[in-house]
Amino acid sequence: MFGLDSKDTKLLIVVALLVILAPFILNPFPTDSALAQFNAGYPDLMQRFVIFGIFAIGFNILFGLTGYLSFGHAAFLGVGSYAAVWMFKLLSYNVIPAIALSVIVAALFSVLIGYISLRRSGIYFSILTLAFAQMSFALAYSVLSNPKFNLTNGETGLQVYPGDPQVLHHEGLPDVPHLFGIAMRDNFWEPVFGGWSFTFNNGYYLCAVLLIAVFYLSIRIFRSPFGMMLRAVKSNQQRMNYTGLNARPYTLAAFVISGMYAGLAGGLLAAMDPLAGAERMQWTASGEVVLMTILGGAGTLIGPVLGAGFIKYFENIFSKINDNVLHQWFSFMPDGMEDFMVFVLHPFIGKGWHLTLGLLFMLVVIFLPGGLVEGGQRIAALFRGGRKKRGGAEDGEHHPKPSPHVAE
């Protein structure tokens, strides 16, 4: 279906169902139960899952296929956000032109940065992209924000003010980002079943539709001759060169495509919340997408989405657990025991969520070099149990063998 083989069609349908039903799936606990804080089915977080999923899918086209590790992809995300907010300021709050411009601007930006950075490979490429991203951050944070020429509004962040032109804006349209009048931040359905309540948000479903579309596109790219060439770049550039293929335009095309994915993600961030700040371009943001991709499984189709969800979940849920919550959990224990447990777990919760994430990341990289996807495959293999491993070579074709991606 849709030009995909049956295995890929199944994967696409599963992803589409997960994304569409996410408001149910992510809210498994009744609202007033003790576990309700593990619910992730609220619009703001779901939007982040999907937006960073798009970001990571795009990053994976570059890193997963060609092995070029960019440490500057947040620059494209930030550029996309700025472009979108400028569209809000100048045209109107409609998200279509905003998102379109953010993709175009990110594409132009990535042509420039990619053209220069791809003259080198390996660690030098990573350093070049990092340098470009940090320059972009500096430009956005201070240089391009002065009274004479204020493009980015510095540390305050770019936002829409009542005095902005908004030439296409008129009475009757909401004063927030909208899609032809449908406000992104509004919820269209808030059902309550017994103790459970769910939220269906307009903005989330816009992001969801786009995620399914770009996920489909990435499957097509993975299975195309172009995708095969990108894997050839990663495998052996020398052989490629002596086989009459010019690796440079292939890598540049992959770089630009992944830059456009990042621009789309940036545009969507702004469409959900019309604000663009320079911190979105900082190197930690670039590092985050690298972590997402490796954690989920670089070079696999679904891995980056899983990785993005995993990290965003930790960032938002674990960081909210505090000592009071822990005391509640361990209240069944004798007093001294309870305090001890809280003392032991304290560094790993709240602001210490980075510590937990770091430990999990280490565990995954050491024991599951293929990321969460490899974990899933191993579990599936366990369930298949005694049945003989079937089509090993076929698997190798679709999922590159677990290799130390981090070392590249």
Binding site for other proteins (CB under 8 A): 3-5, 220-221, 223-229, 231-232, 234-236, 238-246, 249-250, 253, 393-394, 396-397, 400-401, 403
Could you count the other beta carbons within 10 Å of the beta carbon of residue 24? 14
Task: Output 175 or 394, the one with its CB closest to other proteins.
Answer: 394
| Shortest Å distance, C-beta 58 to other proteins | 14
| Shortest Å distance, C-beta 393 to other proteins | 4
Q: Residue 40, Cα to own-chain centre: how many angstroms?
A: 16
| Shortest Å distance, C-beta 391 to other proteins | 9
- In 255-345, the DSSP E strands lie at 275-276
Structure tokens at 303: 């891995």
| Shortest Å distance, C-beta 284 to other proteins | 31
What span, in angstroms and rounded, lies between the C-alpha atoms of 114 and 253? 9
Task: Output 171 or 397, the one with its CB closest to other proteins.
Answer: 397
Task: Output 238 or 284, the one with its CB closest to other proteins.
Answer: 238
| Shortest Å distance, C-beta 244 to other proteins | 4
Task: Output 243 or 331, the one with its CB closest to other proteins.
Answer: 243
Task: Output 43 or 370, the one with its CB closest to other proteins.
Answer: 370
User: If we measure between CA atoms, which residue out of 274, 304, 260 comes closest to residue 166?
Assistant: 274
Task: Output 131 or 240, the one with its CB closest to other proteins.
Answer: 240
C-alpha angle 347-291-303 in degrees, rounded to nearest 5: 120
What span, in angstroms and rounded, lies between the C-alpha atoms of 169 and 297? 44
What span, in angstroms and rounded, lies between the C-alpha atoms of 317 and 321? 7
| Shortest Å distance, C-beta 361 to other proteins | 24
Structure tokens at 51: 């937006």
Indicate the angle between helix axes 74-90 and 95-117, nearest 10 degrees: 150
| Shortest Å distance, C-beta 144 to other proteins | 33
Indicate the angle between helix axes 283-296 and 122-138, nearest 10 degrees: 140
User: If we measure between CA atoms, which residue out of 59, 15, 377 comes closest to residue 2?
Assistant: 15
CB 256 within 8 Å of CB 110? yes
Task: Output 382 or 393, the one with its CB closest to other proteins.
Answer: 393
CB 72 within 8 Å of CB 286? yes
Task: Output 61 or 268, the one with its CB closest to other proteins.
Answer: 61
- In 350-400, the DSSP E strands lie at none
| Shortest Å distance, C-beta 3 to other proteins | 6
| Shortest Å distance, C-beta 387 to other proteins | 20
- C-alpha dist (Å) from residue 282 to 74, 100, 140, 279, 285: 7, 23, 10, 5, 5
Task: Output 115 or 188, the one with its CB closest to other proteins.
Answer: 115
CB 270 within 8 Å of CB 81? yes
What span, in angstroms and rounded, lies between the C-alpha atoms of 362 and 352? 16
What span, in angstroms and rounded, lies between the C-alpha atoms of 53 and 304? 7
Instruction: Please provide residue 182's backbone torsions phi and psi, each rounded to the nearest 5 degrees.
Output: -85, 110
| Shortest Å distance, C-beta 397 to other proteins | 5
Task: Output 181 or 396, the one with its CB closest to other proteins.
Answer: 396
